[in-house]
Amino acid sequence: MTEFPGGSIVHGPRRAEVNGAGGSDGRRRLGEAGLNAKPSGRMHVADSLEGGVPARTVGEVSVEDPVFSCRDVSVFYGAKQALHSVTLDIARRQVLAAIGPSGCGKSTFLRCLNRMNDTIPGARVTGTITLDGQDIYDKSKDIAQLRARIGMVFQKPNPFHKSIYDNVAYGPRIHKLTRTRADLDELVFTSLSRAGLWNEVKDRLSAPAVGLSGGQQQRLCIARTLAVQPEVILMDEPCSALDPIATARVEDLIEELRASYAIVMVTHSMQQAARVSQRTAFFYMGKLIEVSDTDHVFTNPQHRLTEDYITGRFG
Amino acid sequence: MGGRLSEIPFGMSYAVSHRGAPGAHEPKDNDGEQHECQDPDAAMSRVAAIEPKRIAGQRLRERIFHGTTLAAALLVLVLLGGVGVSLLQGAWPAFSHFKLAFLTRQIWNPVTDEYGAVGAVYGTIVTSIIGMLLALPVSFGIAVFLTELAPSWLKRPIGVAIELLAAIPSIIYGFWGLFVLAPVLQEHIEPWIISTLGALPGIGFLFRGAPFGIGVLTAGIVLAIMIVPFIAAVMRDVFETVPDLLKESAYGLGATTWEVIWRVVVPYSRTGMVGGTMLGLGRALGETMAVTFVIGNAHHIGRSLLSPGTTISATIANEFTEATTKLYASSLIALGALLFVITFSVIAIARLMLLRLNRRALSSV
Buried b (16+ CB within 10 A) or exposed e, A241-280: bbeeebbebbbebbeebbeebbbbbbbbbbebbbbbbebb
* pLDDT in the model for residue B70: 95
A218 vs B contacts (CB less than 8 Å): none
Q: Is the pLDDT of residue B181 over 70?
A: yes
* pLDDT in the model for residue A11: 39
Q: What is the mean pLDDT of residues A193-220?
A: 90
Q: Do B254 and A158 touch (CB under 8 A)?
A: no
Q: Which of A160, A166, A228 sits opposite B254 (nearest CB)?
A: A228
B243 vs A contacts (CB less than 8 Å): 158
Of B76 and B44, more confident: B76
Q: Do A154 and B263 touch (CB under 8 A)?
A: no
Q: Is the pLDDT of residue A157 over 50?
A: yes
Q: How far apart are CA A62 and CA A153, in angstroms?
A: 25
Task: State residue A76 phi and psi, 5-degree precision.
Answer: -120, 135
Helix H or strand E segment including A281: strand A279-284
A163 vs B contacts (CB less than 8 Å): 364-365
**In chain A, which residue's Cα lies nearest the Cα of B256?**
A144
Q: Do B247 and A119 touch (CB under 8 A)?
A: yes
Q: Is the pLDDT of residue A4 over 60?
A: no
Chain A residues 156-195 with a CB less than 8 Å from chain B: 156, 158, 160-163, 166, 170-171, 174-175
Q: Do A161 and B267 touch (CB under 8 A)?
A: yes
* pLDDT in the model for residue A102: 87
Measured in angstroms, the CA of B146 and the nearest CA of chain A are apart by 12
Helix H or strand E segment including A173: helix A164-174
Tens digits of per-residue pLDDT, A5-54? 433 333 333 333 333 333 333 333 333 333 443 344 333 444 444 445 55
* pLDDT in the model for residue B152: 81
**In chain B, which residue's Cα lies nearest the Cα of A233?**
B252
Helix H or strand E segment including A235: strand A232-236
Q: Is the pLDDT of residue B125 over 70?
A: yes
Task: State residue A59 phi and psi, 5-degree precision.
Answer: 105, 180
Q: How far apart are CA A31 and CA A54, in angstroms?
A: 13
Q: Do A152 and B365 touch (CB under 8 A)?
A: no
Angle between helices A214-227 and A244-257 (to 10 degrees): 20
On whether the CB atoms of residues A30 and A266 are closer than 8 A, the answer is no
Q: Do A119 and B255 touch (CB under 8 A)?
A: no
Measured in angstroms, the CA of B360 and the nearest CA of chain A are apart by 10
Tens digits of per-residue pLDDT, B245-273? 888 888 888 888 888 998 889 888 888 88
Which of A108, A120, A104, A134 is CA-nearest to residue A231?
A134
Q: Which of A151, A158, A162 sits opposite B245 (nearest CB)?
A: A158
* Maximum alpha-carbon separation in chain B: 101
Q: Quickly state the pLDDT bin for B26 (edges 50, 70, 90).
A: very low
The secondary structure of residue A44, as a DSSP letter, is -
Measured in angstroms, the CA of B163 and the nearest CA of chain A are apart by 23
* pLDDT in the model for residue A44: 41
Neighbours of B269 (CB within 10 A): 21
Q: Which range has highest mean pLDDT (A237-251, B36-50, B68-82)?
A: B68-82
Provide Rg for chain B, Cα atoms. Answer: 31
Lowest mean pLDDT among A53-62, B193-202, B203-212: A53-62
Which of B286, B270, B287, B281 is CA-nearest to residue B347?
B281
Which contacts (CB < 8 Å, 24+ apart) does range A110-113 have? A110/A234, A110/A236, A110/A264, A110/A266, A111/A236, A112/A70, A112/A73, A112/A75, A112/A83, A113/A68, A113/A70, A113/A150, A113/A232, A113/A234, A113/A264
Q: How far apart are CA A227 and CA A209, in angstroms?
A: 16
- Residue A265: left if φ>0, alpha if ψ -120 to 50, beta else—which one? beta
Q: Give CA angle at B258 (B253, B261), nearest 5°.
A: 85
Q: How far apart are CA A261 and CA A310, in angstroms?
A: 27
* pLDDT in the model for residue A3: 41
On whether the CB atoms of residues B139 and B232 are closer than 8 A, the answer is yes
Angle between helices B2-20 and B40-47 (to 10 degrees): 30
Q: Is the pLDDT of residue B72 over 60?
A: yes
Q: SS3 for A95? A: strand
First to last CA, chain B: 53
Q: How far apart are CA B292 and CA B270, in angstroms?
A: 33
Tens digits of per-residue pLDDT, B289-322? 899 999 988 888 888 888 899 999 999 999 988 8
Measured in angstroms, the CA of A252 and the nearest CA of chain B are apart by 22
Q: Do A148 and B253 touch (CB under 8 A)?
A: yes
**In chain A, which residue's Cα lies nearest the Cα of B155?**
A121
The secondary structure of residue B124, as a DSSP letter, is H
Tens digits of per-residue pLDDT, B317-359? 999 888 888 999 999 999 999 999 999 898 888 888 777 777 7
Lowest mean pLDDT among A55-59, A256-260, B162-166, B321-325: A55-59
Q: How far apart are CA B178 and CA B341, in angstroms?
A: 29
* pLDDT in the model for residue B39: 65
* pLDDT in the model for residue B128: 94
* pLDDT in the model for residue A103: 85
B269 vs A contacts (CB less than 8 Å): none
Q: What is the mean pLDDT of residues B24-39?
A: 48
At position A284, the amino acid (one-letter code) is Y
Alpha helices, H only, chain B: 2-20, 31-35, 40-47, 52-98, 101-104, 118-144, 152-167, 170-176, 182-184, 190-196, 216-240, 244-252, 257-260, 266-286, 289-294, 312-319, 326-363
* pLDDT in the model for residue B216: 92
Tens digits of per-residue pLDDT, A132-143? 988 998 888 888
**In chain B, which residue's Cα lies nearest the Cα of A173?**
B255
Helix H or strand E segment including A129: strand A123-131
Q: Is the pLDDT of residue B218 over 60?
A: yes
Q: Is A240 on the interface with B (CB under 8 A)?
A: no
Of A259 and A122, more confident: A259
Q: How far apart are CA A118 and CA B148, in angstroms?
A: 12
**In chain B, which residue's Cα lies nearest the Cα of A153?**
B249
Q: Average pLDDT, whole number, for chain A?
A: 81
pTM above 0.95, yes or no: no
On the 0-12 / 13-18 / 19+ scale of CB atoms within 10 A, B93 is: middle
Contacts of A4 (CB under 8 A, 6+ apart): A10, A11
Residue percentage of chain B with pLDDT more than 90: 37
On whether the CB atoms of residues A279 and A95 are closer than 8 A, the answer is yes
Q: Which of B152, B268, B363 sits opposite A208 (nearest CB)?
A: B363
Tens digits of per-residue pLDDT, B9-22? 443 444 344 444 44
A175 vs B contacts (CB less than 8 Å): 254
Q: Which pairing describes strands A95-99 and A262-266: parallel, antiparallel, or unpaired? A: parallel
At position B357, the amino acid (one-letter code) is L
Question: B interface toward A at CB cutoff 8 Å?
Answer: 151-152, 243-256, 259, 263-264, 267-268, 361-365
Q: Which of B151, B248, B267 sits opposite A154 (nearest CB)?
A: B248
Q: Do A221 and B244 touch (CB under 8 A)?
A: no
Q: How far apart are CA A17 and CA A60, in angstroms?
A: 14
A147 vs B contacts (CB less than 8 Å): 251-255
Look at the alpha carbons of A62, A63, A65, A66 in this order and tell me if their dihedral is positive or negative.
negative
* pLDDT in the model for residue B362: 56
**In chain B, which residue's Cα lies nearest the Cα of A208?**
B364
Q: Average pLDDT, whole number, for chain B?
A: 83
B255 vs A contacts (CB less than 8 Å): 144, 147, 171, 174
* pLDDT in the model for residue B10: 41
Task: State residue B32 phi and psi, 5-degree precision.
Answer: -55, -45
First to last CA, chain A: 16
* pLDDT in the model for residue B342: 92
On whether the CB atoms of residues A150 and A231 are closer than 8 A, the answer is yes
Share in percent of chain A as helix, strand, coil (round to 5):
40, 25, 40
HSE-up of residue B73 (Cα within 13 Å, Cβ side)? 6
Q: Do A160 and B362 touch (CB under 8 A)?
A: no
